[in-house]
Amino acid sequence: MSLFHSTYEVKVSFEDIDYMGIVWHGNYMRYMEQARCDLFEKLNYTYIDMKNDNYAYPVAKMKVKYIKPAEFRDILVIKTEIISVEPSLEIKYIFYSKKTNQKLFEGYTMQIAIDVRTRESLYNAPKRLIEAIGK
């Protein structure tokens, strides 16, 4: 079940590709982070807001599935979806080619809330995040 979803686009730049002319595999994690930041901005609850509420969300688990390679100058459409916020934040990512509409990549992150001051795990989401998702 989707609690909140968003779409983000990124254009593959020359620095993102490897010697075969395709996106280097590690860059997909960077694109996931960009899409996640965009998702939180659209919720009006950013990483800065989290920090101000003494929360941080380090990635604890990540799954990825490479389906087809993206190439230089491709525009990637990244659909992000929050599927859980408690006891952990779980987000699903699906990358499509804007030109062909083919699915290129699937990803998933599970992030654990921690108290910024003590670094101890928290098992509830920030109140403002819950409120933002509820709107």
Provide the pLDDT for residue 117. 96
Q: In the prediction, which pLDDT does 135 show?
A: 72
Range of the domain at 12: 4-134
What percentage of the chain reaches a pLDDT higher than 90? 97
Give 12's pLDDT tier (boundaries 50, 70, 90).
very high
Contact in structure between 98 and 77 (CB atoms under 8 Å)? yes
| The one catalytic residue among 16, 18, 38, 53 | 18
**Is 38 tagged catalytic?**
no
The domain total for the chain is 1
- Residue 1 in this model has a pLDDT that exceeds 90: no
DSSP structure string for 55-68: EE--EEEEEEEE-S
CATH of the domain at 23: 3.10.129.10
Find the mean pLDDT for residues 63-82: 98
Q: Is 2:131 a contact under the CB 8 Å cutoff?
A: no
